[in-house]
Amino acid sequence: MTTREIFDTMDYGPAPESDAEAHAWIAAKGPAFGHYINGSFTAPGETFATKNPATGVELARITQGTADDVDSAVKAARAALPGWSGLSGHKRAKYLYALARLLQKHSRLFAVLETLDNGKPIRESRDIDVPLAQRHFYYHAGLAQLLSEELPGHAPLGVCGQIIPWNFPLLMLSWKIAPALAAGNTVVLKPAEYTSLTALLFADICAEAGLPKGVVNIVTGDGKTGEAITAHPGIAKIAFTGSTEVGRRIRQATTGQGKALTLELGGKSPYIVFDDADIDSAIEGLVDAIWFNQGQVCCAGSRLLVHESIADDFHTRLRARMDKLRIGDPLDKCIDVGAVVDPIQHATITRLVDANTEGETYRADTPLPTSGCFYPPTLISGLSPAAPLMQEEIFGPVLVSTTFRTPSEAVEIANNTRYGLAATVWTENLNLALDIGPKLAAGVVWVNATNLFDAAAGFGGVRESGFGREGGWEGLLSYLKPTAKTVQSRPIDPTPAPKHVQAPDLDRTAKMYVGGKQTRPDGGYSQPVWSTKGALLGHAGLGNRKDIRNAVEAARAATGWAKTTGHLRAQILFYVAENLSARAEEFATRIRHLTGANAKTAETEVAISIDRLFTYAAWADKFDGAAKSVPIRGVALAMNEPVGIIGAFAPDEAPLLGAISLIAPAIAMGNRIVLVPSHAAPLAATDLYQVLDTSDLPAGVVNIITGDPAELAKPLAGHMDVDAVWSFCARAPAIVIEAASASNLKRTWATDGANPDWLGADGQGKRFLRAATEVKTIWIPYGE
């Protein structure tokens, strides 16, 4: 076009970013790449092509990592571990600082390479991905510096296997590597097979930074390589970001291996617009929510919920906005939506959308390139929660929408999902926003904004969006373990029946405790409980899976407990302690009979139980959240929210104290608990419900199911309305608990009986409080 013609059309024209430097780097280092192991690149092995999705042209060849490759990488990482973890925090901070600086110095090369390999617009890789990656290394340089002072009593986990997705290749690498290194771990990282190049460039800058060899190892390859990492016995922790499907497979594959695990998985995040919102801004927010990175974002606001009274106007304006989106060459600086990562992903999006028969489908009226992997921005309105597309993650530029009438209905629809990653709320009413935020099942909530990220603010999900947080101190803790000693307790069998039965004066039957009522076991079986001297102390019910079901239902009905104030929960816990104290002698006697302990030991257990109740009564209103220093005008509130319903297997040892050590932190933080007490000594726990009944504890907050943990492990850990399972009982082993937990990807804490000393300080504290809470980050930009 001539200048004169453009003068009249006022078109944008092409504004291409040069890819010459990126191609030069590929040519110089490749074009076939090996792995980066022990500080140098290996010779390429069997390779596959990595392509530019915008053109389909091959960029480079990437080595398919074998189990042997993974093994070499793990060996290198293990060898590097003592040196790296032995460095002072300051020395590790210096390396992380160097990595941050090098990311800055090579920022455009990283951005262009990312866009070439992934298809995202250069605007995003240049203005969002790369700056956030730099910020992550800066922030974690600081955490490394402060770690020993701020988190004493913690040690690195060891070698971390990290598997990252293709949607934010460099950024996810940063989210994984920076905290792992800050905490003193070494790393074997596998980038996604579609997008390995920026990880390989990162390997380059690790060398430039003089990072000790073996601290960071990059092994490329597809899912099979990931499986080799997951299975490797030399790895202490798996950190995975990707689909819920693969996350579930990793959960299953790692069961019983003693590996720490964090999963950041899929989502179908609600985007709620109330009638008093700044509508144009809320619409612009949707551009950042679902047409950012072609909608290939785990926390994409993909489910629009609009107040019915403004829905028509909102959708009309939204469609007009969609028509203004520019789709095309991702390297063009004037493009909003680039290429979908791969033809396979394009086919998946197409299949999901084409299968939909409901609502009204609108595709942006904007030109689409004739070749390359492009999908038009799409809106499917008028759906109901029952429509498959309201539930399934599409992972593409496709927004689905519905309407609501009231704030409570908005919450109900928003939470009607298996996922719980992020949520967005638009309203000019602060009361409404701050009321809704805590009610949403999500790890991250954005108020009048969307897709805000920062290294200081925790990111991660609840439900099937995974567990663990990335960013902030809470993210760092996912790469540390306490140095406290554990004691391997041996399973204690129930005392066998004596040859000569001494029947009690009066029959004593301990029932189960469900929903504040004493209930008989569903199966109609009971076990006699003998004292160590052969006296029949009474019977305890043998619980089965239906008892578990009933207990979980009762716990679900007690949802109101989560909304009580910390002050109220503190009062009740103090009161439980007071009432237990009044019956201390009786409980001590019970413990003596059940365990054969001497009087002093039994009295000590009761005394420490009362002390422990006081500890968590004290914490109930003091486990404060935080206001994070994020680089915006606004606050990011990190709120400690209860996990929900916790299933817990008490330790065999210390039958009263063990149970209280689990019940107290759980309910102090607002959770409900279904407790399976010591199988050998159940009566210490069942006696407790009389104390609870007299202490104003609402029905359903604590439920006690007696029985054989080996029988109850699977139904409790597999129950999909249970949010976390703790097992301190070797009869409910990690391998069973973790495998069953994959049903809804609940968080687990299973020790196989390697327990803290319940009588000591390690039997309580922040570790328990953290397990009983999820950090929800609520972003509230402000300004008038």
Partner 1 sequence: MSQTVTTLTPATHLLARNPGMALDMDWVARVQANTSAIERRAATLPGRRSVKKAYQAAWLAKAITLIDLTTLAGDDTPGRVRRLCSKARNPLRPDILAALDLPPLTTGAVCVYHEMVPTAVAALQGTGIPVAAVSTGFPAGLSPFHLRVAEIRESVKAGAAEIDIVISRRHVLTGNWQALYDEMCEFRAACGEAHVKAILATGELGTLRNVARASLICMMAGADFIKTSTGKEPVNATLPVTLTMVRAIRAYHTATGIKVGYKPAGGISKAKDALVYLSMIKEELGNRWLQPDLFRFGASSLLGDIERQLEHHVTGDYSAGYRHAIG
Residue numbers at the binding site for partner 1 (CB under 8 A):
1-15, 123, 126-127, 276-282, 284-285, 324, 333-334, 336, 428, 448-449, 632-634, 781-784
Looking at beta carbons only, is 765 or 781 nearer to partner 1? 781
Distances (CA, A) of 400 to 277, 314, 363, 649: 19, 14, 12, 42
Write down the catalytic residue from 193, 227, 264, 774: 264
Q: Please state, as a whole number, how many other Cβ atoms lie within 10 Å of the Cβ of residue 546.
A: 12
| Smaller CB separation from partner 1, 426 or 561 | 426
**Minimum CB–partner distance for residue 268 and partner 1 (Å):** 23
Helix (H) or strand (E) holding 424: strand 422-426
- Complex with partner 1: residue 321 or 439, whichever CB lies closer: 321
Q: Are 143 and 58 in contact (CB under 8 A)?
A: no
When the beta carbons of 127 and 412 are compared against partner 1, the nearer one is 127
Nearer Cβ to partner 1 (7/28): 7
| Single-letter residue type at 265 | L
| Pair of tokens at residue 130 | 């790369």
298 is catalytic: yes
Number of alpha carbons in the 13 Å side-chain half-sphere of residue 715: 20
- Burial of residue 358 (CB within 10 Å: 0-12, 13-18, 19+) is middle
Q: Which is nearer to partner 1, 18 or 486 (CB)?
A: 18
Q: What number of CA atoms fall less than 13 Å from residue 340's CA on the CB side?
A: 24
Q: Cα-Cα-Cα-Cα dihedral of 112, 118, 119, 124, to 10°?
A: -60
In whole angstroms, how close is the CB of 324 to partner 1 at the nearest point?
6
Name the token pair of 248: 């579930």
- Whether the CB-CB separation of 305 and 131 falls below 8 Å is answered with no
CB of 295 to partner 1, least distance (A): 17
Query: How far, in Å, CA of 57 to CA of 20, rounded?
Result: 15
Nearest approach, Cβ of residue 784 and partner 1 (Å): 5
The catalytic residue among 17, 160, 206, 298 is 298
Residue closer to partner 1 by CB (options 31, 781) is 781
Torsional sign, CA 693, 694, 699, 702: negative
Q: Quick one: 123 or 232, whose CB is closer to partner 1?
A: 123
**Burial environment of residue 505 by CB neighbours within 10 A (0 to 12, 13 to 18, 19 or more):** exposed
Burial of 86 (0-12, 13-18, 19+ CB in 10 A): exposed
Query: From the CB of 16, what's the least distance to partner 1, in Å?
Result: 8
The conformation of residue 684, written as its DSSP 8-state character, comes to: H
In this structure, which long-range contacts are made by residues 4-13, counting pairs with CB atoms below 8 Å and at least 24 apart in sequence?
Answer: 12/326, 12/334, 13/334
* 12-43 residues labelled b (16+ CB within 10 A) or e (exposed): eeeeebebeebbebbeebbbebbbbbbbebbe
Distance CA 38, CA 67 (A): 16
Q: How far is the CB of 332 from partner 1 (least distance, A)?
A: 8
Distance of closest approach, residue 641 Cβ to partner 1, in angstroms: 25
- Least distance (Å) from partner 1 to the CB of residue 129? 13
**Antiparallel, parallel or unpaired: β 672-676 and 509-510:** unpaired
Catalytic residues: 264, 298
